[in-house]
Chain A
Amino acid sequence: MKRLLACTLAVLALNALAEELPVFKLEVRDGVFAPTRLEVPAGTKFKIELHNTGSSAIEFESKPLRKEKVLGPGAQSFVVIHGLEPGEYPFFDEFHQDIGQGVIVAR
């Protein structure tokens, strides 16, 4: 239990460190991303702040970015991307795959 607490604190501390990163906001409403295209600087660590404003759960997922994050309705969270080569990185909402698509462009 103590170890769990220590881990939790360590994680919170790491998260606090992550606060300093450049932030890009991404809103998802029942599978619809806004914006659907995010331009980010290549080679720098940054944060994507996800906000699920819809009434259903979403799963932000990107195979090329190697990220997945589940968000309940109304939830807010973020993912940290550790620097990208220049290029296009598509992402989608796995729970609304027919509509939820977008792309991150690193340059």
Chain B
Amino acid sequence: MGQVLFIVWRESVEAMLVIGILYAWLKAHPEAGAGMRYLWGGVAAGIAAALALGGAILAFAEFFAGDAQDWFQIAMVLAAALLIVHMVFWMKRHGRTLKHDLEAGMARTAVTANWWGMLVLVMLAVAREGSETVIFLYGLGLAQQGIALLQFTLAALAGFALALATFGLLQLGGKVFSWRAFFRFSETVLLLLAASLLVTGAEKLVALGWLPPLLDPLWHSAWLLDDSAGLGGLIAALTGYRAQPALITVLLYAGYWVVIGWLSRRSPPAVLAQVRPAGT
């Protein structure tokens, strides 16, 4: 049952990080209250999409055979990576000025467009891993009966509760640490996650033969940290670490951070740090 608990937590933790950070940001910016509805809308849409996608993969396995599922995944991860980067810099830029902008009646449509972007981002985050959780739980749930089914359900709920605790921890972090430190941390987590999604997309493109690997693998570091299991697997999912990366993946990863660095210089980080969470 430990396996069930771990997998449910592992599959929900990415989405929880995204939701938790966005929620903390929205809480700290009461003037952005309208965004909250889009956040929960994204969660609801994501759960619906996860159920639909999970159901579709279960029902039409042959449709998702071969490269079809990979293309679908590539589209999802690259879109999610782009939306995360957009959202991080949007939050940086508008952290201080949003209230003023809204009061001045400016940028309302731009702000609404951004909320829609956030909705899609949250939806993708929930749907991507959620659909796998749906299939995993469905398959295991079918195999259980009586007491075992009860234990199984409890383990799955415990895994989800653990993921919720991650969410709670983020909210606590937003209160305990200075807002500046917390946003620094959140921003890093989100940008790493986007980098990881980019690596996933790039690797799938390499595997499909659409990107030349150039040099493959560039190094072997599984002896140091295995990217397939346990902690290494979690680090791989959250940062884009790979034990046997192709040169092209490393180049893209480095290129990504160069672009991020360039974007960061254009919008000074101090902007966001000026806002304190409500009530502090």
A residues neighboring B (CB under 8 Å) = 8, 11, 14-15, 18, 30, 45, 47, 55-59, 61-67, 69-73, 75-83, 85, 90, 92, 94-98
Q: Give Cα distance in the complex from A100 to B228, angstroms.
A: 12
The residue in chain A whose Cβ has the minimal distance to the Cβ of B55 is A72
Grouping DSSP codes into helix (H, G, I), strand (E, B) and loop, the A interface class, with mixed when no group exceeds half, is mixed
> Using a CB-CB cutoff of 8 Å, which residues 41-65 of chain B contact chain A?
57-58, 61-65
Cross-chain contact A81 with B207 (CB below 8 angstroms): yes
B contact residues, range: 35 or more
The verdict on B135 contacting chain A, using a C-beta distance below 8 Å, is yes
B217 contacts A64, C-beta separation under 8 Å: yes
Q: Which residues of A contact B227 (CB under 8 A)?
A: 63
Residue B251 interfacial (CB < 8 Å): no
B window 142-169: CB within 8 A of A: 142-143
B198 CB to closest chain A CB, in angstroms? 14
The answer to whether B208 touches A55, judged by C-beta atoms less than 8 angstroms apart, is: no
Tell me the nearest residue of chain B to A83, going by C-beta: B209
Q: Is the CB of B138 within 8 A of A63?
A: no
| B residues near A97, Cβ cutoff 8 Å | 3, 229
B187 at the interface (CB under 8 A from A): no
From known contacts A59-B132, A90-B228, infer whether A82 and B139 are also in contact, taking CB-CB under 8 Å: no
Q: A11-B68, A14-B66 are in contact. Are A92 and B209 (CB under 8 A)?
A: no
| Distance in Å: Cβ of B48 to nearest Cβ of chain A | 18
* Contact status of A18 and B61, CB under 8 A, knowing A55-B143, A65-B207, A70-B135: no
